[in-house]
């Protein structure tokens, strides 16, 4: 169909966690002039891989500009480790290209189909944010499109305010067209080791003790009576090229076909946690290909399918060190009282600075995944989790949690209104809008 004379397709779009669905008008340009041709006063939002857990790249009343055709490598400096790509380039493809030339992009989200533009818009973190920071640290420059002003070059030296706003700007400062990334020399592989922990307090100590590892994260059981038990995995750079157990798996699809039933009932969660514990809690070290270590979600097809049609929610909170042990103990007591179904908990160490809407700071993050978030008992626990996290100074990851309401985000993020105003100064007519920005009143 057409809207104001511009050719658009009408398509149903859904968030990766299956919580948000909307019928949208989608533009799929394959020339820059088609991006420019959309009338300047039309409400819009950019879409990359479409793999964010929340509805960050679509809205029922916005034109969705799908940049899937803009995925080219524009420039590569093999001596300095600089690569310039279009914003629709997928992170998995960029990583594979870099590795083939002896370089590594240090920060990558778990899903290889996330695009470079999406990684900037969400300011994603990787497998050890305490060491490598967030995506922002590895971006040299951006070229973006403003519906009124046209194409704008931005970096730390040029249009610095707009450049900074693009990270965790969720598309509001403009459509990202291309980016220049700083790479790091790549290791041959990672030697991955595991340390079993009895609870989340012990996990914090182990994470801090291994803060310099290139790969560092934890898995934890979320069941009452076992809450927090799990393993911290840390990966060190292999000194020489060695055999890795298997080739990297094919990329996880942008949308995983759900099973007809929800497998993650109490029995299913018990069996899954037992399998993970048996697989991960081995004391020996093993070599893992770098690509496999960067994209663990490629091994999670059945896990995501097992949530069924109702989907899941991931609530991710970063809690300051000084409050974390108390938060973990209080959360364990709440789990014992309410007995929610938690499929898994992942922990990470952060050592950055909280700024704007970015998910960063100094502390421990917990990503808590739960099936069937609309079920009354599940929804009640999610509400309790939110309140506990805010009470203990937690900071939410806006790009992950589709259950988070605007009032909760406002209470959790210091100077929320200032951060919103800093973003919207680049979009004074509020043309860049998604289901996520509407829900959170950004």
DSSP-derived letter for residue 320 is E
Q: Which residue, among 293, 271, 109, has the nearest Cα to 193 in the 3D structure?
A: 293
pTM score of the predicted model: 0.95
Task: Provide mean pLDDT across the span 43-57.
Answer: 96
Euclidean distance between CA atoms 61 and 331, whole angstroms: 39
Euclidean distance between CA atoms 389 and 53, whole angstroms: 20
Q: What is the pLDDT of residue 380?
A: 97
Q: What are the residues whose beta carbons fall under 8 Å from the beta carbon of 122, sequence distance 6 or more? A: 52, 56, 109, 135, 168, 170, 399
* Tens-place pLDDT, residues 231-263: 999 988 876 656 555 567 899 999 999 999 999
pLDDT-above-70 percentage for the chain: 95
Predicted confidence band of residue 183 (pLDDT cuts 50, 70, 90): very high
Output 193 or 332, whichever has higher pLDDT: 332
Task: Provide mean pLDDT across the span 137-147.
Answer: 97
Strand pairing class (312-320; 362-371)? antiparallel
Q: Is residue 164 a contact partner of residue 120, using CB atoms and an 8 Å limit?
A: no
Whether 7 shows a pLDDT value over 70: the answer reads: no
Task: Provide mean pLDDT across the span 157-178.
Answer: 97
Q: Is residue 365 a contact partner of residue 238, using CB atoms and an 8 Å limit?
A: no
Q: What is the pLDDT of residue 240?
A: 62
Predicted confidence band of residue 386 (pLDDT cuts 50, 70, 90): very high
Euclidean distance between CA atoms 246 and 15, whole angstroms: 31
| Residue-wise DSSP of 6-32 | EE-EEEEEE-TTS--EEEEEEE--SSH
**CA-to-CA separations, 283 to 21, 195, 226, 234, 380, in angstroms, rounded:** 43, 7, 20, 12, 38
| Mean pLDDT of all residues belonging to the chain | 94
Q: What is the pLDDT of residue 5?
A: 43
* Tens-place pLDDT, residues 71-93: 999 999 999 999 999 999 999 99
Q: Is residue 92 a contact partner of residue 112, using CB atoms and an 8 Å limit?
A: yes
Task: Provide mean pLDDT across the span 139-165.
Answer: 97
């Amino acid at each position: 169909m057409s809207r104001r004379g511009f050719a658009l397709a009408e398509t149903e779009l859904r968030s990766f966690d299956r919580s948000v669905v909307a019928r949208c008008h989608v533009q799929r340009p394959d020339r820059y002039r088609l991006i420019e041709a959309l009338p300047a006063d039309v409400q819009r939002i950019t879409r990359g891989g479409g793999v964010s857990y929340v509805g960050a790249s679509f809205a029922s009343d916005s034109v969705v500009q799908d940049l899937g055709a803009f995925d080219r490598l524009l420039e590569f400096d093999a001596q300095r480790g600089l690569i310039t790509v279009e914003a629709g380039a997928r992170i998995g493809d960029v990583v594979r290209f870099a590795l083939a030339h002896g370089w590594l992009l240090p920060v990558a989200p778990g899903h290889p189909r996330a695009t470079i533009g999406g990684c900037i818009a969400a300011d994603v973190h990787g497998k050890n944010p305490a060491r490598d920071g967030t995506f922002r640290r590895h971006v040299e420059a951006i070229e973006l499109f403003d519906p009124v002003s046209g194409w704008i070059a931005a970096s730390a030296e040029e249009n610095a305010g707009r450049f900074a706003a693009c990270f965790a700007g969720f598309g509001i400062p403009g459509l990202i067209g291309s980016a220049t990334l700083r790479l790091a020399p790549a290791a041959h592989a990672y030697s991955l080791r595991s340390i079993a922990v009895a609870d989340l307090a012990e996990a914090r100590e182990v994470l801090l003790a291994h803060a310099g590892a290139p790969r560092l994260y934890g898995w934890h059981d979320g069941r009452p009576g076992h809450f927090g038990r799990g393993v911290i995995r840390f990966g060190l750079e292999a000194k020489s090229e060695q055999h890795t157990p298997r080739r990297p798996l094919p990329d996880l699809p942008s949308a995983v076909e759900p099973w007809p039933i929800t497998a993650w009932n109490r029995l299913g969660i018990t069996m899954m946690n037992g399998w993970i514990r048996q697989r991960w809690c081995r004391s020996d070290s093993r070599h893992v290909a770098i690509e496999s270590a960067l994209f663990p979600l490629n091994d999670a097809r059945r896990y995501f399918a097992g949530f069924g049609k109702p989907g899941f929610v991931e609530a991710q909170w970063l809690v300051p060190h000084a409050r974390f042990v108390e938060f973990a103990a209080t959360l364990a007591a709440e789990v014992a009282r309410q007995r929610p179904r938690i499929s898994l908990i992942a922990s990470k160490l952060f050592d950055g600075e909280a700024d704007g809407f970015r998910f960063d700071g100094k502390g421990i993050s917990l990503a808590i995944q739960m099936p069937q978030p609309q079920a009354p008992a599940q929804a009640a626990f999610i509400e309790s989790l939110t309140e506990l996290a805010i009470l203990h100074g937690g900071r939410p990851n806006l790009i992950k949690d589709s259950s988070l309401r605007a009032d909760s985000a406002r209470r959790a993020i210091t100077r929320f209104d200032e951060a919103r105003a800093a973003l919207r100064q680049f979009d004074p007519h509020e043309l860049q809008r998604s289901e996520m920005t509407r829900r959170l009143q950004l």
